[in-house]
Structure 1
Amino acid sequence: TEEGQKRAKQMLESFGIEGLVVIGGDGSLKGGLDLAQKGITVMGLPGTIDNDLGYTDYTIGFDTSVNTVLSAISNIRDTSSSHERTTVIEVMGRHCGDIALYAGLTGGAETILIPEVDVDINAICRKMIQGRNRGKLHNIIVKAEGIDMSTQELAETLKERTGMETKIVVLGYIQRGGSPTARDRMLASRMAYKAVELLEEGSESRAIGINGSEIVHYELGDALKMKRDYDKQVMELADILSI
């Protein structure tokens, strides 16, 4: 709120704080932008498991979340195979499908459903039936929470059309916790170091990210306007490997 923003500015000024590092997702960084427009120097670090900020290749927490989901997929696969069933695993990510895409690819999922691509229920059923005809005992379907079809509706439709027993696993908030991976620790450390460097240099408010292996930074308002698209090559690779 406007009142909250004014109070935050007053508190920072009262304690002589000249620079603020905001670590969070889209909402947190927009709050940081509001403060920046009121004269506070803000450095924005992308801390969100969703990986949904367009100005950076990866966000802090994304790799940890993907590895958590990957571990769950590996555990679920054992039961899915032994009971010869299809399992739909719902993962987080809001309107960004990166968690589903990266975990699904590395976890060997037969089908990956993300919000950026329309669901083709016929194609999913064909792949399941063709796999069964080749002797495949089970299917793992990784579904991002943001797609239009509910997980319950998807499971019921697949069971009805293929005759294959279909179960649901919603991973929920276990994806948001746990011990950070080495990659996330390194990313967070490098971004934090850049934030301090920029503050010491007297820089204006910036958003800090990573492009390839390079730590980059942009004007905070411009960074939040950048749009993100999913990696089509990763999706194509996942489709190839699932055959």
Structure 2
Amino acid sequence: MSGAISQMIERGRQGCLLLHGFSGSPLEMVPMAETLAEEGWTVAVAELAGHASPAALARVHWHDWITSAEDAYRALTDRCEGVAVAGLSMGGAVALALASTLQPAAVVAISTPVRLKRLLAGASRLASRLLPYAPVVVKLGPRVREMRPYRSPTRRIPLRATAEVEHLLDAMRAALPRVRAPLLIAQGRRDWVIPRESAREIASLAAQAEPQVLWLPRSGHVATLDRDRELLFREVKAFLRIHLSA
């Protein structure tokens, strides 16, 4: 198993690679992985570079995240005839950047920002000079408390790494006109973390002629663990059935 792959559920000859978000962990993709594996697909969950600890995250550069995903993708293609890629938040940006150079069967971008909010980006750049780490604020509603075991254990993030996220999003926007793979974009209506126009802007920039956009009415940013997760998983499965055969 590739060092970039945290978990693999081996099933058939069609596969799906799942990528977690910034300061997150593979855990936040496990419920989705288990659901997709029910379709007979082999599902791998990657751990992106630097996410073993906050100190490690402070040392990585944005292209290290893409390299992690590429390594996991190639390991999965050694086992599978076709591979789709799905990512949450920053993982969605990595998936889109990867799709501009490789040939995935399909791409799913969940809660993926087209850019950082201006206030967040500016404050992070200023604060990183004064304060190396900031606390992670996690809010899961009462209906999703059962999903808390899947949340990342990380409770602080290196603010320097937010600048690397900005560089990654720059690279993603530049790559989108080369993304021709079938594309599903999902975004929560209650996601305050990313710009509201993200899903539509990604759809407009991608080379894919007819990207699908799925709005999740009751979900915030970590949509794979939120109230509409069953709707999300159902729609992702329906989308991938068209492009992957068990």
Q: Is TM-score (shorter-chain normalized) higher than 0.5?
A: no
Could you say which structure has the larger radius of gyration?
Answer: 1
Q: Bigger relative contact order, structure 1 or 2, given CA contacts below 8 A and separation 6+? A: 1
Structure that is richer in helix per residue: 1
